[in-house]
A = this chain, B = another copy of it.
Amino acid sequence: MWLRRERPLRDRRLSRAHIVGAAVPVLDTEGHRGLSMRRIATDLGVTAGSLYWYVRTKDDVLELALDRVLGEVNADPEEPDWRHGLAALARNTRAMLLRHRWALLELTVRPNLGPNAFTLAETGLHLLSRAGFADADLDAAMATVNDQVVGAVIAEVAWRDTLTRMRESGAEWTQHATTAYLRDVAARHPLLAHRMAAGKGADVERDSERRFEFALSCLLAGLSATCDATIPSEHPQAAPAAR
């Protein structure tokens, strides 16, 4: 996609920018299911076939849409404390992904070669290199943080979506078949049962954030320990100050 330059413009009514501009709102409000080439076309007052003048497949549209929303994430590569910088980057990414939930799938289905993706990667690398990582470890550390964020938000979104879906289709938790199935599960899995009981009246919003922060501090502690072990002369402090 990013290799195919947009055609020079003359008297046209469309452009890639127009197409993503139409696609993103549809994705935000109706999800992947709601987006079709025909839908984008009619929103732009045009025929479905026309889009193929600007874009080779529907996947191209999604790739463009992803890079657009990646542009919404901002992070400061010059933040003095690399831990704070990385944490901010992670939190901002999470917030963006919660605004554009469809983007998670695009982010994960292929590597990301758009300009905004590269910019974000560079600031992440910059922060981690200042932490003392280099070469293969720099790659690995960056990947670890990214993967944690993506994995966490994926799980969070999946959970939130089913909760709202269940709210829409009536409170199925209290259905007979459901309680029977869950009782069966609980009987076989004591720890799971204990956790399920605790999660009954939980606040999804707060819990998700707690978990995200737990994972983040856990990971930063692990990264600190790892880079201190590799380059012990870098940070001659008393304690790595986890959390």
B161 touches A152 (CB 8 A): no
CA distance A73 to B64 in the complex (A): 37
- Chain A contact-residue range equals 35 or more
CB-CB contacts below 8 Å: A126-180 with B: 126, 129, 135-141, 143-144, 146-152, 154-155, 158-159, 161-162, 172, 175, 177-178
A121 touches B220 (CB 8 A): no
B162 touches A195 (CB 8 A): no
Chain B neighbourhood of A104, CB < 8 A: 108
Chain B neighbourhood of A191, CB < 8 A: 122, 125-126, 129, 138
Of A119, A129, A211, A223, the most chain B CB neighbours within 10 A belong to A211
B146 touches A192 (CB 8 A): no
B162 touches A152 (CB 8 A): no
Taken together, the copies of this chain in the complex come to 2
Check if A226 is an interface residue, CB within 8 A of chain B.
yes
Q: A189-B121, A192-B121, A221-B226 are in contact. Are A147 and B152 (CB under 8 A)?
A: yes
The one of B121, B152, B220 in contact with A143, judged by C-beta atoms closer than 8 angstroms, is: B152
Chain B neighbourhood of A17, CB < 8 A: none
Check if A109 is an interface residue, CB within 8 A of chain B.
yes
Check if A22 is an interface residue, CB within 8 A of chain B.
no
Q: What residue in chain B is nearest A163 (Cβ atoms)?
A: B111
The one of B119, B140, B147, B229 in contact with A148, judged by C-beta atoms closer than 8 angstroms, is: B147
Chain B neighbourhood of A4, CB < 8 A: 177
Chain B neighbourhood of A137, CB < 8 A: 214
Check if A52 is an interface residue, CB within 8 A of chain B.
no
Contact digits for A178-198, partner B, Cβ 8 Å, 1 yes 0 no: 100100010011111001001
Check if A204 is an interface residue, CB within 8 A of chain B.
no
